[in-house]
Structure 1
Amino acid sequence: MHPIPELTPLLKQLRLSGILDSLEARNREAIDRKLAFTEFLSLLIHDEVARRDNKKLSLRMRRANFRSQKTLEGFDFDRLPGLNRAAIHDLATCRFIDEKVAVLIAGPCGTGKSHLAQALGHAAARQGHDVLLSTQSQLLASLRSAAAVGTYDRRFQYLAKLPLLIIDDFGLKPLRSPDDEDFHDLIAERYERAATILTSNLDFPEWGEAFPGNKMIGAATLDRLRHGAHKIVLDGESYRGQNRASKHSEPSLQKEAKSSNLDPRSSPRIARFQWRHYGENARRHYAER
């Protein structure tokens, strides 16, 4: 029982019912430690602030649509010795969100692009930023669905104003009309107004291939994305492939090739090419920050 039952309806009326969770324990603590009233009140207020912060964080995490609890603490840097850890940890401070610039992450399948993007998203959510994770396909499908029911403008403005939008698997499927126009319009609206993270299996110089139907729209979109962007290349073997090999199962890229009738040695969509030279190519075309 709470020490002062008549407080319950009053606290609920003031929308401070969370205090009830710690009121009895804090009252006991105040008596045992002979705390002054202001000290007792301070404990209750700090409890309520912490409760509300945790509730807001939980809500941001749910809305972010993270697929799993991928954090920077769980990222295996040892698999990618060429990756600048200091630069990644600097990104985790989320200054790039305040700068309203993009983070572009490229590399072959299974090297940790999605993990790294989600880890930066987790860091942003913990620091109070609203975040949304979506694949390129899901993002554009949501705009098409909104257009079908007359809520396109509302959905577009929601996506345009998010402090951090994470777009996974950019270029995995080619962008054709009207998706290429929608994608361009969204990036243009977010340009210098909000931060965006993109991941892609394509080498940076090949990102234009994502816009086969309209090279001009592609160039305009990529120009905005690249301006002031932090560019990261993950150059290594597939983590998923290594895990499957350890379980004596078929390598992931071979499975993907079979399912799509593509040769893993020649298909850029499966990204089975000489990734040893990938980082050299990317750095030659775009100076990494």
Structure 2
Amino acid sequence: MLAHPTLDQLSRLGLHGMAKAFSDAEASPEAASLSHAEWLAILLDREIALRVDKRLGARLRHARLRQQATPEDVDYRAARGLDRTLFQSLLTGAWIKAHEGVLICGPTGVGKSFLACALAHKACRDNHSVVYQRAPKFFTDLALARGDGRYARLMRSLGRADVLVLDDWGLAPLDAGARHDLLELLEERYGRRSIIITSQLPVDKWHDVIGDPTYADAVLDRVAHNAHRINLTGDSLRRSRTQLPAA
């Protein structure tokens, strides 16, 4: 078989996974025993795997997650009250298809951002688009975008993502502009897209952060009523790890 012309043609067609599989199979001593159907199956499997990996990489780059967290990295043994059954049910992604939300609340250091990023990573694996935003910077960016003409485009981009992660929500009270931006974004996404929110504050304290009672009721109506809640407790995991005795 003319290996090099075949490799050139596969590469020219952009079938780089098939080209690599062809090259590897040619170098394998078992190649001669493979049937035509087996050769084709190997090439197709490698091409599909490569394309899946590339799409996942692109989605993760677009998401810009704060932490490189995966579902496999989640520690269910940590003393923080994480409901394993609930979290593993969320990893199935049914909540995304139902356009529901996830609220992760608890004190600092218990892994709220990590869990949010793990759920977002799984969403990327499942071919969903994800955007990560840290709340304090998020509202600042929206205010700047309103001044330089990017506001409408940025809001459309945030509205289209299958999953929006809003991390560290509630660290500071919202001003009038931030309240308006938040409600507009939630209204655009409600019933159409999903959101993950992490906060040190329990949901019943969010009115104080939002400030205006009318806005607060509207925001909570669009966030809390169709969301799965993960309420974490305990001491900071960061502190406990630094206090571990040396091996």
Alignment CA distance shift 1:155-1:45 (3 Å): same
How far the C-alpha of 1:44 sits from its partner, in A, is 0.7
How far the C-alpha of 1:144 sits from its partner, in A, is 2.8
- 1:36 match: 35
- 1:281 match: none
- 1:276 match: none
Matched residues in 2 for 1:236 and 1:34: separation? 59
After superposition, the C-alpha distances for 1:231-278 in whole angstroms (9 at most, x for unaligned) are 11101111123234458xxxxxxxxxxxxxxxxxxxxxxxxxxxxxxx
Alignment CA distance shift 1:206-1:164 (3 Å): same
How far the C-alpha of 1:142 sits from its partner, in A, is 2.9
Answer whether contact 2:99 2:192 (CA < 8 A) is retained.
Answer: yes
Matches within 5 A, 1:111-130: 111-130=110-129
The alignment partner of 1:189 has SS state of: helix
Higher RCO, 1 vs 2 (CA within 8 Å, ≥6 residues apart): 2
Answer whether contact 1:79 1:236 (CA < 8 A) is retained.
Answer: no
How far the C-alpha of 1:207 sits from its partner, in A, is 0.9
After superposition, the C-alpha distances for 1:14-36 in whole angstroms (9 at most, x for unaligned) are 22234222222223448634222
Letter in 1 for 2:129: D
Q: What's the C-alpha RMSD, in Å, of the aligned pairs?
A: 2.1
Matches within 5 A, 1:12-31: 12-29=11-28
Matched residues in 2 for 1:121 and 1:47: separation? 26
Matches within 5 A, 1:83-102: 83-102=82-101
How far the C-alpha of 1:138 sits from its partner, in A, is 2.3
2:228 to 230, 234, 239: 230
Alignment CA distance shift 1:68-1:82 (3 Å): closer
Deviation above 6 Å: which 4+ runs of structure 1? Answer: none
Matched residues in 2 for 1:11 and 1:141: separation? 48
Matched residues in 1 for 2:71 and 2:5: separation? 47
Matches within 5 A, 1:147-226: 147-212=146-211, 214-226=212-224
How far the C-alpha of 1:125 sits from its partner, in A, is 1.3
- 1:274 match: none
Letter in 1 for 2:238: R
- 2:53 match: 54
Alignment CA distance shift 1:140-1:30 (3 Å): farther
Relative to the length of structure 2, the TM-score reads 0.90
Matches within 5 A, 1:99-110: 99-110=98-109
- Structure 1: which 5+ residue stretches go unaligned? 248-289
Identity across the alignment (%): 33
**After the TM superposition, which of the residue ranges 40-49 and 80-89 deviates more from structure 2?**
80-89
Letter in 2 for 1:173: A
Is 2:240 aligned against 1:242? Answer: yes
Matched residues in 1 for 2:48 and 2:31: separation? 24
Relative to the length of structure 1, the TM-score reads 0.78
The alignment partner of 2:169 has SS state of: coil
Answer whether contact 1:108 1:201 (CA < 8 A) is retained.
Answer: yes
Matched residues in 1 for 2:204 and 2:97: separation? 27
